Amino acid sequence: MYMMRSPQRHLKHLRRYREIVRVLIRHGFGGLVDQLGLLPALSLPRRLLSRGPVGPPLSAPEHVRLAIEELGPTFIKLGQILSTRPDLIPPAYIRELIKLQDTVPPADGEAIKARVEAELEGTLEELFVSFEAEPLAAASLAQVHAATLPGGQEVVVKVQRPGIEELISVDLEILFDLARLVQERTPLGELYDLPEIAEGFAFTLRAELDFRREGRNADRFRRNFADEPALYIPRVYWEYTTSRVLVLERIRGIKIGDIEALDAAGVDRHRVGENAARIILKQVLEDGFFHADPHPGNFFVMDGAIIGAMDFGMVGHISPALRSDLTRLYVAFVDRDSEAVVEQFLRMGAVGYQVDRAKLQRDLERLLDKYYGLPLKEIRAQEVMEDVLPIAFRHHLHFPPDLWLLEKTLVMMEGVGLRLAPDFNIFDVVGPHVRRMAWQMVSPHAWGRRLVKGIGDWGELFAGLPRQAPRILDRLEHGQLEFILSLKETDRAIGRLDRIGNRLAISILIAALIVSMALLMPLVAAGGRGFAFWLLVVGFLIAAFLGLMLLLSIWRAGRQRRR
């Protein structure tokens, strides 16, 4: 373990390890502690395992949430990220992790003052006309203070809590240790690459500790919405910003979830809801860069029903390819085509070889039947996601993390929209945009782009064949060319070996013909339509015929497997 590697770090890690183990045992997870062999490694007595959960009877998911909150900021952030991963966590645990609270008492005022002065290289009196000691908000990683710059601009100062980096560094190293132990000693290791998940979490958390990244996110949103009058993004004061201190323009307004205050101010709530939906859809479907924490506390309604946004630390990215995949999924769901949904999952790499396609398709058909014939106004994104979560966990659907962030964002957006306007329906807003994207995907312009790209890829392939072919043939001649096949069911594999061998032979023959034609091309170019030219034509026809026969054989085998 990490704690055994360095004498200088030994005591710090040992104390934290023991604290984590005691919290786990206190919340009823002594069996896991024993399975991982942590007690002897930490020189702790086995009698600790006899201590049961403390307090009133609670469910296992509730104990997980309470343990995470007790373990502090690193584990709270891990729980919040896991709450967006239904492919990893059962639905009951997801519902509890969503409740995780990230509010803590403010840090010592003198420590905050010292951090700001050290980061900005000046005293508070020199840097600000005023700086309120009482924070506007305090969380586990940072807290926010109101201040005024020498030029009179009202700002908010986000300050990283002193000592948080060291604590997170120790916790992340311990998490890597625990991930490896769980990978080696529990059945979870057969389903997931836990060290890789821990590494991804560490990258996300370390990025969140760099406030310059959050400032760049704000600037990017401002550029993306330069022509949108309904959204206001506060200015970043870069001359007062470092990796540990972020200074933003302070915006004033009514919190978007404060319905009574909005009504008292005469705000058109329906208009605000439509603006919010349009803004989110632009982020997702056009920009591929979206605010991934759209809870009501991060948005204000300013004068003129303008929405002011705050807190740009958590963002999501949706690539053009993923947007196309989501569009196909939406169309397949609307068409109630469960087979097309499964095929799209396979195309996206969301299901592994071990998935039972028949069971997955049956679960999807039940889901689609539940909503068949219902008008859109009676369908809620929150309800749909609650139905999707068990399917995602049961079949271990491995979607990109940003996709689960998007799901969370849409559900939160629907919640805000429903509070603003009870008749708000997210599908009414999303549907036209997705249908427009679907038409764009099959437009001649889109097909033209894909065709040009395909021609370029084939051109690179044929250009590289003269160089690669001698190496391939040499390895084939010396028996160094290996074809590795991973077969799940050996009894069925034996019956397929003959067909595989035939396809392999045809593939090698096609490759040989292509290489031969490549070698003949210089002769054809020099001699015109002579013997070499007609030999090249015949070779091309044979290669094309064999290629079509091979593709037809593969297609027929695929149809038979689906049956």
Let me know if 219 is a catalytic residue: no
Catalytic residue, chosen from 171, 177, 293, 325, is: 293
Give the DSSP letter of residue 350: -
* Angle, vertex CA 442, rays to CA 441 and CA 447, nearest 5: 90
Q: CA 140 to CA 163: how far, in whole Å?
A: 11
356: left (phi over 0), alpha (psi -120 to 50) or beta: beta
Give the DSSP letter of residue 186: S
Q: Which amino acid is at 36?
A: L
- Cβ neighbours of residue 21 under 8 Å, at least 6 residues apart? 33, 38, 39, 42, 44, 48
Q: Phi and psi at residue 307, in whole multiples of 5°?
A: -95, 125
Residue identified by tokens 């069971």 is 359
- Reduced to 3 DSSP states, what percent helix, strand and coil does the chain have, rounded to the nearest 5? 65, 10, 25
Give the DSSP letter of residue 89: S
Q: CA 338 to CA 363: how far, in whole Å?
A: 9
**CB contact at 8 A, 25 and 60:** no
Give the DSSP letter of residue 287: I
Helix (H, G, I), strand (E, B) or coil at 308: strand
> Which residues are part of the catalytic machinery?
293
